[in-house]
Amino acid sequence: MKSNIPTRSAAMPVAQRRFRAPALLSLAVLIAPLAMAQTTVTIDLAKPGIPVSPTFYGLMTEEINYSYDGGLYAELVRNRVFKDDDKAPVHWSVVQDAGGSAAIALDRRYPVPATALTTSLRLDAAHATQGHRVGIANDGYWGIPVKPNTRYRASFYARTAGAGGVPLTVSIEGADGKTVYAQAEGGRIDGEWKRYSVTLTTAADVKPTADARLVIATESPGTVWFNQVSLFPPTYKDRPNGNRVDLMQKLVDMKPRFLRFPGGNYLEGVTVDTRFKWKETLGPVAQRPGHPGTWGYRSSDGMGLLEFLEWTEDMKAEPVLAVFAGYALNGENVPAGPALQPFVQEALDEIEYVTGDVSTTWGARRARDGHPAPFKLRYVEIGNEDGFDKKKTYDGRYTQFHDAIKAKYPRLKLISTVNGKDWLGQQQKVTSRVPDLVDEHYYYKPMQMMHDAARYDSYERNGPKVFIGEWASQEGEPTTDLHSALADAAFMTGMERNADVVEMACYAPLLVNANPGGVQWRYNLVGYDAQASYGSPSYYAQKMFSNYLGDVSLPVTAQKVSTQTWQEAARKETPQVLPPAQEVPTMFFSATRSAQRGEIYLKVVNAIGSAQTVQVDLAGAAKVAAEGKAIVLSSAQKEDTNTIAEPTKVVPVTSKASGLGKRFSYSFAPYSVTVLVLSSK
């Protein structure tokens, strides 16, 4: 990252320091088009072009903005194992109809045997009688989503104090208790701990709502202890511990080539002890203790290592595995040498879990967990954002990991979190080994992102490849607006034109729960609440670029492109110094070719509010069809965006494009991202 990257949200002070850098005060933009000249673009088909990595566009994920719990991970019960707060059963409440009374409290006296379930919720149903129920209720992640004709899987552990038995009912009902959407008998609870499960089915005429709760109640007096109370809706591909269908479909539709996981800050933890301990995320969810997250809320670890791998499998993507490398967010550091060796071994074990056959220790464990076949793995990232390590120990730590991994897995490509030309990558260097790739992170306001679109034009061609592991234009909240999408697309044209430098790229953050309290990072790609989800304009720009990507990047030259003058504001630390004004193009271009499909994908960004006509010349083309296809993302105002209420305000429109050929003119709409699909068969 560069020194003018905006900071992450101040809402979470533990993690915000990861992006502590001088911020821009304001931006001023003056459009100065060269009205006297027409822009011309030449695509040189006589040259072989640059091979495009098969893993060029992918996804980056971490637990932020309730991305997993309360987001992609489909569990609907919040605080299902009663560890989100040490003092109170948050998100749980007492249910007591008129004439009944009860109390609830956390209880650590009776852990569930042979599990990680150590804290239970005790219901004292002293005054439950026939027709006067009492019980417990969970409010979910800003509500429990109710949909018509839907089957929900509810389960829980329970025990009672005596042998008489306490009958329970399980229901999904309105938050006020007046409407019951689905209900089933939960069983008679006797004696020691036992797991109970029921199916709840809503009627076909139920009106969708998120103003609902899960209730477990009884009309019999007694004391009942509960643990790991769970409610799952239908999941993507019906995985029993699976993902939310609508969010998965949006990600699948992007056709990502890889998934970088488990994070980000989430990988490191606030302390070494609160890092992502992958071995504790394996097996039945009752065996997973969970851990404190890095953005102010606890992680259930329902999204464990195998779930991440199955997520990639469901998207037909590859894993990019980030391994903990001895550095935590609070600055805690494990130096290279004997102290670091257990963490190196932990990484080797993790790689074996991913790739080993059933004859290996950890490959056999993966098979026992339900996935006998190994996963394909080509990339391993060592740590995350280690440029923030003030002790500057990454060179030694990287070397120890590098040598151990390469000795056992010589074909793996290893990614360094420093040595990039971003601000963060320059804070310290890896000098003792040469990484296969370096990870660069960029978070800019839209005009700066457009200004930076040519950054890779000047990179050396013979060094390590670049993995742009986190990047985004930042305008529009909680998901970005069209202006950000234009800047994102401009930057991606630079990536594609420099495919000999850039091997992989993934936007961040990926997901955000748009409810108040659900947002820790202000600018995100996909938004949702309990009931619905939507893609930002940036999401659609990403989808367009990923869906229409050839295997070769073609040489593109543009002439007579109009510019806009961008005046970066003075920085806070030197307010008296005004940086020089910069000329930023109003249009951006890239082109790739798919030999298999016989198509050329010309991508054009028009960043201003008036149409611009471009003369396109496909030099050396043998044949170009007169008709093709245009996919256009545009809107009247660059501030336009999508929301829960208006999820499709700014979306791509596909239409027939006529008048094409080896040489043609095309008018590009105001504030638009366009993909022209040209047939060269």
Kindly list the catalytic residues: 385
* Residues facing 321 on adjacent strands: 261, 380
Identify the CA nearest to 224 among candidates 154, 306, 126, 291: 126
Using CA atoms, how far apart are residues 285 and 541, in angstroms rounded to an integer? Answer: 37
H and E: helices and strands count for the chain:
10, 37
Pairing state between β 628-634 and 587-594: unpaired
DSSP 3-state of 666: strand
Using CA atoms, how far apart are residues 245 and 233, in angstroms rounded to an integer? Answer: 9
Using CA atoms, how far apart are residues 223 and 405, in angstroms rounded to an integer? Answer: 54
Q: Contacts by 650-659 with C-beta closer than 8 Å and gap 24+?
A: 650/482, 650/485, 650/537, 650/540, 651/535, 651/540, 652/540, 652/543, 652/544, 654/629, 654/630, 655/629, 655/630, 656/627, 656/628, 656/629, 656/630, 657/627, 657/628, 657/629, 657/630, 658/626, 658/627, 659/626
For the chain, the straight-line distance linking the first and the last C-alpha, in angstroms and rounded, comes to: 42
Kindly give, in sequence order, each residue whose CB lies less than 8 Å from that of residue 453, ignoring residues fewer than 6 positions away: 490, 491, 493, 494, 585, 588
Total residue count of the chain as it appears in this document: 681
Using CA atoms, how far apart are residues 389 and 369, in angstroms rounded to an integer? Answer: 36
Supply φ then ψ for residue 597, to 5 degrees.
-90, -10
Query: What interhelical angle do 537-547 and 482-497 show, nearest 10?
Result: 30
Using CA atoms, how far apart are residues 133 and 129, in angstroms rounded to an integer? Answer: 6
* Residues facing 440 on adjacent strands: 468
The token pair that represents 56 in the structure block: 């060029």
Q: What is the CA radius of gyration of the chain?
A: 27
Pairing state between β 587-594 and 582-585: unpaired
Using CA atoms, how far apart are residues 222 and 126, in angstroms rounded to an integer? Answer: 6
Identify the CA nearest to 216 among candidates 120, 138, 100: 138
Pairing state between β 379-382 and 318-323: parallel
Using CA atoms, how far apart are residues 535 and 527, in angstroms rounded to an integer? Answer: 6
Look at the block and give the residue holding tokens 């409810």: 515
The token pair that represents 415 in the structure block: 């990614």
